[in-house]
Amino acid sequence: MTAALWASIVQAETTENVKWRVPKGLDTAFHLASADVTVSIRPVVRPSEKVQRVSTKGNARFQAWLGAFRQRALDQGVSSYTLDSALAGLTYDTDVIRRDRNQAEFSKTIWEYLDSAVSDRRVVDGRAVLEKYGNALERIETKYGVEKEIVVAIWGLETSFGSFRGNNQTIQSLATLAFDARRSKFFETQLIAALQIVHSGDVSPSKMIGSWAGAMGHTQFMPTSYLEYAVDFDGDGRRDIWSDDPTDALASAAAYLSRHGWTMGQPWGVEVQLPDGFDYSTARRDFTQMPSDWAERGVVGRNGKPVPDYGRAAILLPAGGKGVSLMIFDNFNVIEAYNGADAYVIGVGHLSDRLAGGRPFDASWPRGDRALSFTERKELQERLTQAGFDTQGIDGLTGPNTVNAVRAFQLAQGFLPDGYPTLKLLEALR
């Protein structure tokens, strides 16, 4: 969905930044909207909130808000004709608000997430669409310098290769969310952008279909991302990411990655082996060096040989010291611009490798562990801070400050200092 913007919808209300800012280290538990379990593999974060009941009087307020909004849209260059066609008949959509407030939270471990994101069925389907759209994908790869497997992997995780693109009227959903007080500024910006798209003639209001939160088309672009990154690759005069033909959508995803600095030929990451006595304090995103330097520390590829010097790299342990170990490169950060959760990036990267003929990860996952719930993660942060290991906030999100606090506590207790929060660690704090 172009990164940056979905996070603004689903994260806590602490920023208006249009850059996805899910904290690094959100690889220990993932919250998926119940409606997206089979639709999208996007990890999201949602604090629970009560649904506000909407009365007839409430809808009257919505209509009054639309009247005031119309003038603001005119001031930003949207034509009266566009507004007449797009806003006519809009009503306050209580189902959108219900879904915004009550996305059913449940925690997933990284391996549970990948079992779905990179299932055998998804690999088979992905290889089929690589063949079906091979000519277009080759041309997209040549123009934008982004491997076709990465583009198809994003398509697979966003909408299961176009099978689940959403069925909500985008303008009605965005108008409802813009009227709602919780994230009105963000969603009004998206609504204006959606109207500008209609104004440009790329799509009619009735055909602008997407998710309940405004993400659109095969690759789930938010309207502002569409305006900035979508391309007319098939040359028909429209940037059409909605139709059954995915060409423009796939090219738009490639353009997005290209403009964020994708390096063709560089892996997103590779699985590595860690030596006995590995210094876990070096397994963090801000510590990078060339693979040959990592090899001097005993970190090698799964074939036992040094990883080629593709560029500076960091070590990522998505399930701590008992799971898969990854050496990640700058291209990891580029996928992260599309969606900032580590699980999503690993899912896209690993799926792309499998589509290109790669094999599953060699290392096993600690499948006996379970993910901590949102409440348990908040308790973990509270107890760490009380014990003198400050997490710099109690928000239930496993970001870098929490990982650092966990590692410091592990060192103090003589545990493996991998920064990975588990139920066993929480029980030790209790």
User: Which pLDDT does position 100 carry in this prediction?
Assistant: 87
Q: How far apart are the first and last CA of the chain?
A: 40
- Alpha helix locations (H) across 88-183? 94-101, 110-117, 120-132, 134-144, 148-159, 170-179
319 shares its domain with 279: yes
Q: What is the domain-level CATH number for residue 307? A: 1.10.530.10
Of the candidate ranges 37-51, 193-207, 282-296, the one whose mean pLDDT is the lowest: 37-51
- Region 63-72: what's the mean pLDDT? 95
Interval 362-420: pLDDT, tens: 999 999 999 998 899 999 999 999 999 999 999 888 888 999 999 999 999 999 999 99
Contact 147, 352 (CB under 8 A): yes
Tell me, yes or no, whether 320 lies in a domain: yes
Tell me, yes or no, whether 203 lies in a domain: no
Residue 73 or residue 15, greater confidence: 73
Of the candidate ranges 171-175, 259-263, 338-342, the one whose mean pLDDT is the lowest: 338-342
Would you say residue 21 has pLDDT above 80?
Answer: no
Range of the domain at 332: 269-355
The band of 59, judged by pLDDT with boundaries at 50, 70 and 90, is confident
Tell me, yes or no, whether 129 lies in a domain: no
Tell me, yes or no, whether 246 lies in a domain: no
**Domains contained in the chain, number:** 2
348 in helix, strand or coil?
helix
| % residues pLDDT > 70 (the chain) | 85
Q: Average pLDDT, whole number, for the chain?
A: 87
Would you say residue 22 has pLDDT above 50?
Answer: no
277 shares its domain with 350: yes
User: Which pLDDT does position 34 carry in this prediction?
Assistant: 28
309 shares its domain with 383: no
Q: 10 Å Cβ neighbour count for 132?
A: 12
Tell me, yes or no, whether 400 lies in a domain: yes
The band of 25, judged by pLDDT with boundaries at 50, 70 and 90, is very low
Q: Which of 25-29, 189-193, 368-372 has the highest mean pLDDT?
A: 189-193
User: Which pLDDT does position 84 carry in this prediction?
Assistant: 94
What is the amino acid identity at position 154?
I
335 shares its domain with 279: yes
Tell me, yes or no, whether 172 lies in a domain: no
User: Which pLDDT does position 23 carry in this prediction?
Assistant: 31
Q: 10 Å Cβ neighbour count for 366?
A: 16
Of the candidate ranges 101-105, 234-238, 305-309, the one whose mean pLDDT is the lowest: 101-105
User: Which pLDDT does position 51 carry in this prediction?
Assistant: 41
Residue 364 and residue 68: Cα distance in Å, rounded?
A: 57
Tell me, yes or no, whether 312 lies in a domain: yes
Contact 226, 203 (CB under 8 A): no
Of the candidate ranges 36-45, 46-55, 108-117, the one whose mean pLDDT is the lowest: 36-45
Tell me, yes or no, whether 302 lies in a domain: yes
Residue 219 and residue 248: Cα distance in Å, rounded?
A: 10
Pairing, β 325-328 against β 269-273: antiparallel
Residue closest to 252 by CA, chosen among 233, 278, 266, 271: 233
User: Which pLDDT does position 88 carry in this prediction?
Assistant: 93
Would you say residue 29 has pLDDT above 50?
Answer: no
The band of 107, judged by pLDDT with boundaries at 50, 70 and 90, is confident
326 shares its domain with 291: yes
Domain boundary residue, one of 328, 355, 382: 355
Interval 310-343: pLDDT, tens: 999 999 999 999 999 999 999 999 999 999 889 9
Residue 58 and residue 422: Cα distance in Å, rounded?
A: 45
293 shares its domain with 348: yes
Residue 406 and residue 418: Cα distance in Å, rounded?
A: 8
Residue 332 and residue 327: Cα distance in Å, rounded?
A: 10
- pTM for this predicted structure: 0.85
Of the CA atoms within 13 Å of residue 80, those in its CB half-sphere come to: 0
378 shares its domain with 350: no
339 shares its domain with 389: no
User: Which pLDDT does position 27 carry in this prediction?
Assistant: 34
The band of 1, judged by pLDDT with boundaries at 50, 70 and 90, is low
Pairing, β 314-316 against β 269-273: unpaired
335 shares its domain with 387: no
343 shares its domain with 381: no
300 shares its domain with 338: yes
